[in-house]
Chains A and B, each alone.
Chain A
Amino acid sequence: MKCLLCLVFVFSLAIGRVAAQPAGYTLVEDASALEQEFRGSAATVRSISSSFVQEKKLAYLDEVVESKGAFWYRDDNSLRWAYDSPFHYLIVIKDGRFFIKDQGEVKVFDVKSNPAFKLLNDLIISIAKGSVMGDQRFDLQVYEGARDYLLVMQPRDAQLKQFIQQSEVYLDKESLLALKVIIRESETDFTQISFVNRKMNEPIEDAVFDVR
């Protein structure tokens, strides 16, 4: 269960405090209009497929652990999130079930009967759709830059705070989809996930969400 929560927290985009306004961004004082816009945009998303690059940065060790993969989302709440390099690890969400495939072994969990997986399910999908705004589990600050919006989120839940200090979600101004996500655990320890080669609203076959 605790490991499961770790999984949740990583995707949770939970946040800590922003000590200062990020350079190149200005605070959006009233984000309610923007939130409406985000919700409207998220409602039009039928599918997304994208590659991603994940960089785990441990500054105090002068180390970056890079991994790559791809994800596919379809608006029937199906999601495939796959790491391909340098290791293989797969998460698939479909039909209310959560599948994890690790080194050939598949584990299956029922999302509804498991609150942690329900939370993880919701968070992954909200990230994929760019609809993280309005999530009551987090305190949110919105910043506007030249080309993107920056959402800074703080977890309200004490347990979440224990895991993640601060995160930022960068949303493309035009598509309102996530360009990159930074999950900060400390000043010197954070994970950045950048999305590349994204395709929107293209048909995705059922087979993509098969665990194979």
Chain B
Amino acid sequence: MSRLRMLFLMFASACWLSLHAGPPDSLSAGPSGVLGAAYDSYLYQARIGFKAHRFSGLILIKRLPSDGSIHTVFMSEFGLTLLDVRYRDDEFTVVSGKDFLQDPRLLKVLFNDFRLLLQDFSQVPGLDSQQWVLGEKLKFRHHGGTFVYRFQQGFEVKEAVWRRGLFPHVRMKLERNEAQQVQNIHFGHRGLPLRVEMNLVKYKGL
């Protein structure tokens, strides 16, 4: 019985360490999310590949300090708004969207992708930033899955995955420019022939 208890304690300890390996000294010192907190908006040109189909458009990521939300607006190059998604209080909701983009399965994929990019670490229950170690990965369970963030230097995320079970469902890779803004974003999906590439075309700081 004591062996069993010991085994359980070791397992629990390993889980605890695993869940809390990763960045900042404190949440106030570390990033609140992948894009940081010191931006007004990012504008990306996006290319989406699904099977043999190719689509393109613009994605605006805009912070609204007034209500603490982040809006992700998908639009065509000509300016037509296709979908506006709000991230607030750790939840995604559709503000507006064309009917053909209101498919629940599609929205689920989008929300999973953009949760990796936009979620606020301070909103993750049990995530104690005091435990984060510079240069190590950040791993935690949230919304029924496991998130793993890897950092290139400091607390700048270079890669993140979201998985359910053993294998990553969504993998996000980032490249940064000289100013350390997120220049390129790539989303890959396991079991889904969907690729999303985003290239920064305009950054607006606070």
A, B assembled together: yes
User: Please, what's the 1-or-0 string for B127-151, where 1 marks a CB less than 8 Å from any CB in chain A?
Assistant: 0000000000000000000000000
Q: Which of A7, A162, A189 contacts B99 (CB 8 A)?
A: A162
* A-side contacts of B62, CB under 8 Å: 58, 61, 63
Residue A11 CB within 8 A of the other chain:
yes
* B-side contacts of A2, CB under 8 Å: 100
Nearest CB in chain B to that of A183: its residue: B79
Residue A212 CB within 8 A of the other chain:
no
* A-side contacts of B56, CB under 8 Å: 89, 102-103
Bound together, the chains give a CA A5 to CA B121 distance in angstroms of 39
Q: Which of B54, B77, B82, B100 contacts A105 (CB 8 A)?
A: B54
Bound together, the chains give a CA A2 to CA B98 distance in angstroms of 10
* B-side contacts of A23, CB under 8 Å: none
Bound together, the chains give a CA A6 to CA B97 distance in angstroms of 12
Q: How many residues does chain A have at the interface if contact means C-beta atoms less than 8 Å apart?
A: 30
Pairwise interchain contact A86-B80, C-beta atoms closer than 8 A = no
* B-side contacts of A65, CB under 8 Å: 43, 58, 60, 75, 79, 202
State which residues 80-103 of A face B: CB under 8 Å. Answer: 83, 86-87, 89, 102-103
* B-side contacts of A86, CB under 8 Å: 43, 201-202
Residue B112 CB within 8 A of the other chain:
no
Given contacts A2-B100, A107-B54, contact A189 B81 (CB under 8 A): yes
- Chain B contact-residue range equals 20 to 34
Bound together, the chains give a CA A185 to CA B175 distance in angstroms of 34
- Give chain B nearest CB distance to A164 CB in angstroms: 8
| Residue picked from A56, A89, A105, A191, most chain B C-beta under 10 Å | A56
* A-side contacts of B81, CB under 8 Å: 58, 185, 189
* B-side contacts of A107, CB under 8 Å: 54
Residue A25 CB within 8 A of the other chain:
no
Bound together, the chains give a CA A103 to CA B60 distance in angstroms of 18
State which residues 45-77 of A face B: CB under 8 Å. Answer: 54, 56, 58, 61, 63, 65, 67
* A-side contacts of B75, CB under 8 Å: 56, 65
Pairwise interchain contact B76-A7, C-beta atoms closer than 8 A = yes
Given contacts A63-B60, A162-B98, contact A11 B78 (CB under 8 A): yes
Pairwise interchain contact A63-B47, C-beta atoms closer than 8 A = no
**What are 30 A-to-B residue pairs whose CB atoms are below 8 Å?**
A6-B76, A6-B80, A6-B82, A6-B98, A7-B76, A9-B80, A11-B78, A54-B79, A56-B75, A58-B60, A58-B62, A58-B81, A61-B62, A61-B71, A61-B73, A65-B79, A65-B202, A86-B201, A86-B202, A87-B77, A103-B47, A105-B54, A162-B98, A163-B80, A163-B98, A186-B96, A189-B81, A191-B78, A191-B79, A191-B80
Binding site for A on B (CB under 8 A): 41, 43, 45, 47, 54-56, 58, 60, 62, 64, 71, 73, 75-82, 96, 98-100, 199, 201-202
Instruction: State the 8 A-B residue pairs at the shortest beta-carbon distance, nearest first.
Output: A191-B79, A10-B78, A56-B79, A86-B201, A10-B80, A87-B201, A87-B45, A102-B56
